[in-house]
Chains A and B, each alone.
Chain A
Amino acid sequence: MLDTARRIATPEGIELTLRLAGPVPRALAWGIDLLIRGVILGFIAYTAAALKQSGMAIILLSAFLIEWLYPAWFEATRGATPGKRAIGLIVLNDDGTPVRWPAAMTRNLLRAADFLPTMYLAGFVAMVMNRDFKRLGDLAANTLVVYREQKLVPLAIPKAEPRAPGFALSITEQRAILDFAARSPGLTPERAEELAEIPQTLTKGTAPGKAAARLIGIANYLMGRT
């Protein structure tokens, strides 16, 4: 159902599902990081200004360190820069393991190439040209930027008499019904009815106006409620 899901096989013989982050959330994260870096550097510049020329030396050295080591340090030790963390992203190796220094350094050194010719155009072109949204640095370092797993919020499905669907449903079909049931309280009854009539094999033969209730009943069954 989700085309940005990436499955990784583990040595335990199972597949874990990661959700890849596209250009927009990553650009937002970058923007937040830029702001944080600007504030840090501004603060250093403000305090170091009193030292005249040595102050200038401190500013230049911090500018260098912040530009090149800020992202690599955070990614190698925390998995994500503060900007990525705020957006809910994390950098992982291709096999789903956390990144370490070599990969973090590689992907961040190659920012210089991704940035070209301006504003990460090369990185953007690279991202949309492969299915994992990898910019050049990610390709060289073999890393992925994915969404951090959120705390699961249980689907709030209205209670109803559970009802078996009558035949086996695939996992995607089950998901669609559960999502529908969870969203149904926010829909107008007419729209809910309209949507519920689409899976005809499930809602065929229901009294007019009862299709949505039928699907919610099936959702209750799928939730394991009795």
Chain B
Amino acid sequence: MKQAAFEQHYAADWHSFEQWLDSNDKQVGKKKSVPTVTLADREIPRAYRHVCQLLAIARERQYSPDLIDRLNRLALRGHHLLYGARGGRAVPLLEFLSAGFPRLVRAERRLVAAAVVLFAGPLLVLIAVLSATPDFIHYFVDPAGLARFQEMYDPGNPRLGMRQADDNLMMFAFYIWNNVKIGFQTFATGVLLGIGSVYFLIFNGAQIGAVAGYFSGANFTEPFWSFVSGHSAMELTAIMLSGAAGLKMGTSLIAPGRRSRKAALMEAARPAVRMMYGAALMFVIAAFIEGFWSPLTLFPAATKYTVGIIMWILVIGYFLFAGRRNAA
């Protein structure tokens, strides 16, 4: 069949398909007046396959590039629209929180354990070292930063952990902006063979440990610990989970198993990102506690310590036990 005859024979088919595309494509539909649609939606899969077939024939018979381009474009647009609706089942938030998230963390327990060691190790060591020799703080914090910390944890400060001029809501926003960013960084840099996650876990653990050790000495002990105890469970766990999610990507590249590194990374990224959703949510909760509960001096330190301990029990219990029932 000559090209002219081919076009004459089939042009009506692809024109009606094109019209349907135009009327369904948001971009085109807005600008142009919507043409009258001659095809019903249920006829579209057949029409699309027909266009695909025409494209294959046109290619095989080496019709003019112009015609092939036109058909390729039609098939491509059809492909976008028809396959666009495909997607994973959206997991309801409640189900994710009550079961999906803790299950995910338990499934990656080895990486989570590694992240805990990398983060809590330096943290605990530096608390011990700096409470004995507070002067080491100068290795970790510059003088201006130290002065800011000292103002924040001044025992005479009516609102702990803040400077006089700061407002609770602003601090809440600041903690989200800053801490979630740290979490995302810890996670994302894991794709560099895990190196970034390891670095950020150790670095943040050391930084926090140094400050905590320093303020454990002298008369700062009570204001400091009663400030941090409330949100520590949420915030520190969230950092460690971000690191674990990053390590998930990193280890998939180091030891891809029987897949290509590319395939292993793609496969690892999906649960890692899901874990990151959970971690981000924990950062937001931590920011809320840190902004509105932690600064309060209304309650005695013992109450705030108790709340802190209860939070730790809740967080650990949540990851150990939530979603155990009906586990497949």
Which residues of chain A have a CB within 8 Å of any CB of chain B?
10, 12-14, 16-18, 52-54, 56-61, 63-64, 67-68, 96-98, 100, 102, 105-106, 109-113, 116, 122, 136, 139-142, 149, 152, 154-155, 168-171, 174-175, 178, 222-224, 226
Measured CA separation A149–B80 after assembly (Å): 11
| Minimum C-beta distance from A19 to chain B (A) | 11
- Check B167–A140 contact: CB distance below 8 A: no
Verify A116–B196 contact, CB threshold 8 A: yes
Q: For the complex, what is the distance from the CA of A174 to the CA of B64, rounded to whole Å?
A: 8
B49-78 interface bits toward A, Cβ cutoff 8 Å, 1 = contact, 0 = none: 100110110010011111111101101110
Which listed residue (B68, B172, B188) contacts A110, Cβ 8 A?
B188
B84: Cβ under 8 A from any A Cβ = yes
Decide if B138 is an interface residue (CB 8 Å cutoff).
no
Q: Which of A52, A64, A149, A155 contacts B176 (CB 8 A)?
A: A64
The answer to whether A105 touches B273, judged by C-beta atoms less than 8 angstroms apart, is: yes
B192: interface (CB < 8 Å): yes
Would A102 and B273 count as touching, CB distance under 8 A?
Answer: yes
Q: Which residues of B contact A111 (CB under 8 A)?
A: 188
Q: With A16-B76, A57-B169 given, is the CB distance from A112 to B192 under 8 Å?
A: no
Given A54-B167, A113-B196, A140-B269, A60-B174 contact (CB < 8 Å): yes
Check A60 against B170 for contact (C-beta < 8 Å). yes
Q: With A17-B72, A140-B269 known to touch, is A155 a contact of B170 (CB < 8 Å)?
A: no
A-B contact pairs, 30 of them (CB 8 A): A10-B75, A12-B75, A14-B75, A57-B167, A57-B173, A60-B170, A96-B76, A97-B80, A97-B83, A97-B86, A109-B184, A109-B188, A111-B188, A112-B184, A113-B189, A113-B196, A116-B196, A136-B191, A139-B262, A140-B191, A141-B266, A149-B77, A171-B59, A171-B65, A222-B64, A223-B66, A224-B7, A224-B63, A224-B67, A226-B4
CA distance A93 to B77 in the complex (A): 14
Residues of B within 8 A of A226 (CB): 4
B66 proximity list for chain A (CB < 8 A): 152, 154-155, 178, 223
Neighbouring A residues of B55 by C-beta, 8 Å:
14
Asked if residues A102 and B170 are in contact (CB atoms below 8 Å), the reply is no
Chain A proximity of B188: nearest CB distance (Å):
4
- Which chain B residue lies CB-closest to A175? B65
Q: Are A53 and B170 in contact (CB under 8 A)?
A: yes
B249 sits at the interface (CB 8 A): yes
CB of B166 within 8 Å of the partner chain: yes
B175 to chain A, nearest CB (A): 9
User: Which of chain A's residues have a CB closer than 8 A to the CB of B266?
Assistant: 139-142
Question: Footprint of A on B, CB under 8 Å?
Answer: 3-4, 7, 48-49, 52-53, 55-56, 59, 62-70, 72-73, 75-77, 79-80, 83-84, 86-88, 166-167, 169-170, 172-174, 176-177, 180-181, 184-185, 187-192, 196, 249, 262, 265-266, 269-270, 273, 276-277
The residue in chain A whose Cβ has the minimal distance to the Cβ of B55 is A14
Of all chain A residues, which has the CB nearest B3?
A224
CA distance in complex: A57, B288 (Å): 13
- Closest chain A residue, CB of each to CB of B86: A97
Asked, given contacts A54-B167, A223-B64, whether A140 binds B249 with beta carbons under 8 Å apart, the answer is: yes
Given contacts A149-B77, A152-B70, is CB(A113)–CB(B65) below 8 Å? no
- Chain A residues with CB under 8 A of B176: 60-61, 64
Contacts of A110 in B (CB 8 A): 188, 191
Which residues of chain B have C-beta atoms less than 8 A from A56's C-beta? 167, 170, 173
**Cβ-defined partner of B72 (8 Å) among A16, A102, A142:** A16
Contact in complex: B173, A98 (CB < 8 Å): no
Q: How far is the CB of B167 from chain A (nearest CB, A)?
A: 4
User: What chain A residues lie within 8 Å of B262 (beta carbons)?
Assistant: 139
B276 contacts A109, C-beta separation under 8 Å: yes
Whether B84 and A97, one on each chain, are in contact in the complex, defined by CB atoms closer than 8 angstroms, is yes
